[in-house]
Structure 1
Amino acid sequence: MDQLLLVFMTVAEKKNFSRAAEELHMTQPAVSQCIQTLERTVGSRLLDRTNKYVRLNKAGEIVYHHAKEITGLYTKMQCLVDDLTNKASGELSIGASYSFGEYVLPHIIAYAKKHYPLIKPVIKIGNTKEIERSVANRQLDVGIIEGEFQHERLVFESFAEDKMYVVAAAHHHLAGRKSIKLAELKEEMWIVREEGSGTREATEKMFQLLEQPPDQLMEFGSTQIIKESVEAGLGISLLSQWAIRKEAATGSLAILKVKEAPITRKFSLVTTTDPFQPKVVEILGQLLRNDFADTVPKVEI
């Protein structure tokens, strides 16, 4: 890896020359010299410096973004070479959207660690758009999202189905009804995820079945907050079977018997279009394709 880029990224992340020098086991003058050399090479100052802070300027943000991609490619290259002779091992950075990442992925990781103990998973949870972007920029080795999409730099492969149900508080006036028309939910307060979320996309598709979308929407950025809000009686929501598995079993959330539900969507594996993938990525893909049903608990709703 280019030493200048490594020093630059460390200064940018630590926001301090002294802390960067300590991290890199270098002297502060040596760190300053590396930054000056890199700035001369690219022909622009990259950092704004004062007595109180060090931070990236616009040119620095551009260099930092590409430096991260370059170092990611270097690491991937080394892993691919190592894979030719060694067993699957090393760090595997996985990005997952909230429903899958918080309620399904832990079971996948536990299974993978049992069978491939040398793999070291590093997990990032975000909404679908954030995970797509991070994989495309090579900041993540692989992503797992809800839904099926297209992207010129990414490959999407669906590997399992997810069912989504309309849920309400146990004391909701529609709870216990044997049959509910979707149109009856038009006047209800809907609690939804933010734009860019796979759950929000599925909810919007359900809204398209109505002549007019609901007038009352409350938006939250976390499935857990939505569940708590629904349970408290603030409104209703459309959530994954995995997210409500425990609450449905205990009765703290009621599944409304809506004729148009459940809504079905796909879980998809996201990788780059690179012709070579690290062995750890290939193993995760094989596990999801072949062993998904055996790695996760059964959902009975």
Structure 2
Amino acid sequence: MKFTLRQLQVFLATAHHENISRAAASLNMSQSAASGALKEFESLYDVRLFERAGKRLKLNELGRQLWPRVESLLEQANELESDLNRHHDLGRLKVGATLTIGNYLAVGFMARYMAEQPGARVKLEVANTRAIADRVLAFDLDLGMIEGEINHPDLELVRWRSDDLVAFCAPEHPLAGRNQLSDADLLEQDWIVREPGSGTRQTFERGMHGLLTDLRITLELEHTEAIKRAVEAGLGISCLSRVSLQEAFRRGTLIPLAIPQRDFSREFYFVLHKQKYRSPGIQRWLELCRNFPDQTAPDKVSH
């Protein structure tokens, strides 16, 4: 074997940062040492892995093919080092979650995971479905937990659990006392919705098929809690995941609205890179999430 793990680390850091100076800084190396390691790696096999355009280094086709394999190899090397140092520690996990999952479910998973494995560390990033998928695709996250569906040849989408959206209003809203709403009722309301790119918005638009272009969408907000506060303030009605509304429904600060003719059911998914090494930590996280009790089932409201 002619290459070294250090050369692979420099290659990977350069692929991520597209700049040798930033790659060197991320590895605590001098720029000259990092540049030399990359040049030596390419010279060993008489190949070029990057296209150089000024200060930017963009992976060429060969480099893109090597990237996931190098990522997987270094992941296994890091796990081996972790096992040698700490016997069998699940180690550090980088998890991405969409806003509903991150704000209302993921903390419970983190607590259970870290209680099982003393010394384990979990870094959680919260963003919308599109952003989480992009981060998994770039190997910046070990796995994602998302609300929407995505399609990419390098990503694997694994069904996790069912969810549904619920329309709701403030207790003082004229619709609060209605048994159910017609499509005509929906068209007369001011709607407050999540931003494009979110899984919740994707499900809402699918559920409102045929009405979407005529709905009065007055506000688009990126945060679930901001939408709930806006509805409480009487600015309109909305439609969010049941997971995010359970406590407000119990307190009576928000009122569910029944729309039986509209289907707002959906699935939560795990998203993983097909070529990423599935470490024991990733496998345990997936198992833990699948076995975690569904807290929403007892409180479901028909709609």
TM-score range, shorter chain: 0.7 to 0.9
Q: Which position in structure 2 is the counterpart of 1:54? A: none
The answer for unaligned runs of 5 or more in structure 1 is: 49-56
Conserved 8 A contact 1:165-1:261: no
Q: Which position in structure 2 is the counterpart of 1:73? A: 72
Closer/same/farther in 2, CA of residues 257 and 70 from structure 1, 3 Å limit: same
Q: Displacement, 1:237?
A: 1.2
Q: Which position in structure 2 is the counterpart of 1:194? A: 195
Closer/same/farther in 2, CA of residues 269 and 253 from structure 1, 3 Å limit: same
Conserved 8 A contact 2:165-2:204: no
After superposition, give the CA deviation of every residue in 1:11-40 in whole Å (9 maximum; x if it has no partner): x97x996x9988766567767877998999
Closer/same/farther in 2, CA of residues 257 and 283 from structure 1, 3 Å limit: same
Q: Could you tell me which amino acid in structure 1 is paired with residue 299 of structure 2? A: E
Tell me how far apart the structure 2 counterparts of residues 32 and 273 of structure 1 sit (CA, whole Å): 30
Closer/same/farther in 2, CA of residues 136 and 175 from structure 1, 3 Å limit: same
Tell me how far apart the structure 2 counterparts of residues 167 and 237 of structure 1 sit (CA, whole Å): 6
For the residue of structure 2 that corresponds to 1:166, the secondary structure is strand
Conserved 8 A contact 2:20-2:34: no
Tell me how far apart the structure 2 counterparts of residues 197 and 205 of structure 1 sit (CA, whole Å): 13
After superposition, give the CA deviation of every residue in 1:183-205 in whole Å (9 maximum; x if it has no partner): 31112121122222110111101
Q: Could you tell me which amino acid in structure 2 is paired with residue 133 of structure 1? A: D
Q: Displacement, 1:131?
A: 1.4
Tell me how far apart the structure 1 counterparts of residues 26 and 275 of structure 2 sit (CA, whole Å): 32
TM-score under structure 1 normalisation?
Answer: 0.77
Aligned residues: 287
Closer/same/farther in 2, CA of residues 45 and 293 from structure 1, 3 Å limit: same
Q: Which position in structure 1 is the counterpart of 2:152? A: 151
Closer/same/farther in 2, CA of residues 20 and 199 from structure 1, 3 Å limit: closer
Q: Could you tell me which amino acid in structure 1 is paired with residue 250 of structure 2? A: A
Query: Given the alignment of the two structures, is residue 133 of structure 1 paired with residue 123 of structure 2, yes or no?
Result: no
Q: Displacement, 1:133?
A: 2.0
Closer/same/farther in 2, CA of residues 190 and 7 from structure 1, 3 Å limit: same
Q: Displacement, 1:175?
A: 0.9
Q: Could you tell me which amino acid in structure 2 is paired with residue 293 of structure 1? A: P
Conserved 8 A contact 1:166-1:238: yes
Q: Which runs of structure 2 are paired with 1:96-245 in the superposition (5 Å)?
A: 96-210=97-211, 213-245=214-246
Q: Which position in structure 1 is the counterpart of 2:293? A: 293
Conserved 8 A contact 2:168-2:239: yes
Q: Which position in structure 2 is the counterpart of 1:267? A: 268
Closer/same/farther in 2, CA of residues 298 and 117 from structure 1, 3 Å limit: farther
Q: Displacement, 1:269?
A: 1.3
Closer/same/farther in 2, CA of residues 159 and 20 from structure 1, 3 Å limit: closer
Q: Which position in structure 2 is the counterpart of 1:256? A: 257
Closer/same/farther in 2, CA of residues 6 and 29 from structure 1, 3 Å limit: closer
TM-score under structure 2 normalisation?
Answer: 0.76
Tell me how far apart the structure 1 counterparts of residues 143 and 34 of structure 2 sit (CA, whole Å): 33
The answer for unaligned runs of 5 or more in structure 2 is: none
Tell me how far apart the structure 1 counterparts of residues 6 and 72 of structure 2 sit (CA, whole Å): 12
Superposed CA RMSD in Å reads 3.8
Identity of aligned residues (%): 28
